[in-house]
Structure 1
């Protein structure tokens, strides 16, 4: 962001989650049961499919947490007012990008009959709120983040409205998993990421950004990362074992040991619960500590993806969808088979085995390396204003 020096460990972790994230989107488009079965259902899944989906749970929360860190670090070269205004403008841009760029990339539907509001929507709204709250104080951001992340699951015990405008707003902001709202008779908008739980994660990332200030001791930072990471992991185990608080769907008991392992790990992402936050951010902090001294060719390659996250994110979606269209016609489907649903070119009968999904994923990630490297160098060598938003 701007002239802020990049921190290699953050780029490595961000790049790693970007690469893993593409696996889940590849599975969505190409796995034979992607539209007909839940890969996380302990009663019907298998080990390979469960962990293919579960490992990607780390992507969104880690990315949002690191986005909060990036906002804090980029603010070091700006006044409080400038930093807040930039966060708000970038948030508005991300919401626009989700509506216009990502919705088309997901559907290839020029009529925009179904608008997807996904992770850019959640990040954009969170950045707008962060831009406002950060102008007051970092303490307010930290306190609000703690209150949201550790307290929003209290609503699981509340008797919330089930119908009406208030019910819809509560779902969009806090409790919803997939809230579909009609715009008119031919257009729908889907809110798939409840805003405020993700805002809490971003706020905590912003607060943790102070650990990466130039004058912050590296030894102390590593201690904070390790201690906080371990504490979150332990809290996840305790909450999941006690099975009373911290997740909208309490852990279920199944007949087999493996099914119970799946059940233990299957914390709620939609919306992200406290248990989900602990399960994902805890290990991420431990990894950040471990990545402090990492160098070499592999880490450099991975960090390349992490240094141009918006560019990579958009590009990989369009690439995957173009490949899906090609697979659609090569598999014998015709224009008349294009179903009028949110995901065009994805009939339930189209799909491949899990090994094929992994092969496609690796091909896509490898194919995007050179474009990402080019764009990283372009951003480094140019100082145009619009590059701050991409």
Structure 2
């Protein structure tokens, strides 16, 4: 695998494929939010009622989308590492690179704090807020070097629960500073679904892996083996931490020995068990996709998964517009209907995303580069 210099003409297909898969799963989750009468949303101690039983089809439809946020944020960290490397190879100064990353992060965060907050009628801190703030912080944190960045990532991911055990009582009053950094809030005045700092840890991990990918660009099999090893190691750690049912579960304890109970982990905020499970699965899938890329003779540049992966932020914004446009046409109903509506959304978005991608590549220095 070679890291290309021109990100507009050559990209790592496996990363785009994985990002595209994530966008498709995200569309399913949001279609379920709009059209699924019995959608499950109990991924936090703040949302779950002990003893509640989940229908398997509804639970797993929600569960398969859990991989979206950590994967997207991890891949954003990889993209920062590779993009900065490419730009330095082209002679672009660090000051210009940092300014671009800072502006991009601010733009993404402001989509949540401006656009989505306006639509919601209250301030709302969702995934774009966490991504944008993390990108802005990465301008400075990447100067720590790979080793320090790795240890800081581990500290944020592993140590968040320790901090919250001291400062946070689930269901109690949460100061604003804690809500936007570590502890979620589902309130009438504002909502903080994605406190920034636990997700920053995942972006830092992605950046560290991106540096490893750059260093080993002539040895794709070494990267592949590393991903597989790390992925299975994370899944084993997940089983241990979930089985011990103590620290690392973010107050979401086992209430039985069923598969659903084992997989019912805290996303808001992300527990260590959740992060290990999702990043472990992501690492294995990415390894398989990289292996596929290495043996595939011709990559179809217009495959839907690749197109969605190369227009991810645009897809994110556009799919909400399509869902809102479809809302008057469909009543809330069955899970089966949700899957059909998701397919319709993807069919509508595919040509739109292709057109946008063409424009973005044609005008690489325009404002389109921020989407």
TM-score by length of 1: 0.82
Distance 1:379 1:162 in 2: 44
Partner residue, 1:335: none
Matched, 1:198 2:199: yes
Matches within 5 A, 1:167-178: 167-176=175-184, 178=185
Matched, 1:208 2:209: yes
Aligned with residue 327 of structure 2, among 310, 324, 328 = 324
**SS where residue 143 of structure 2 aligns?**
coil
Structure 2: give runs of 5+ residues left out of the alignment: none
Partner residue, 2:134: 126
**SS where residue 255 of structure 2 aligns?**
coil
Matches within 5 A, 1:182-331: 182=189, 189-213=190-214, 216=217, 217-254=219-256, 260-294=258-292, 295=296, 300-327=303-330
**SS where residue 249 of structure 1 aligns?**
coil
Structure 1: give runs of 5+ residues left out of the alignment: 183-188, 328-349
Partner residue, 1:334: none
- 1:290: how far off? 0.6
Distance 2:140 2:100 in 1: 10
- Residues 140 and 303 of structure 1: is their aligned pair in 2 closer, same or farther, counting only changes over 3 Å? same
Aligned with residue 104 of structure 2, among 81, 90, 97 = 90
Partner residue, 1:113: 121
Distance 1:237 1:292 in 2: 26
> Does the 8 Å CA contact 1:86/1:131 hold for their aligned counterparts?
no
> Does the 8 Å CA contact 1:305/1:369 hold for their aligned counterparts?
yes
Aligned with residue 357 of structure 1, among 338, 355, 359 = 338
Partner residue, 1:376: 357
Q: Deviations over 1:271-328 (max 9, x none)?
A: 111111111011111111111142455993211100011110000011101211344x
Partner residue, 1:342: none
- 1:370: how far off? 0.9
TM-score by length of 2: 0.86
Length, aligned pairs only:
349
Output the aligned Cα RMSD. Answer: 2.6
Aligned with residue 73 of structure 1, among 82, 94, 100 = 82
**SS where residue 125 of structure 1 aligns?**
helix
- 1:162: how far off? 8.7
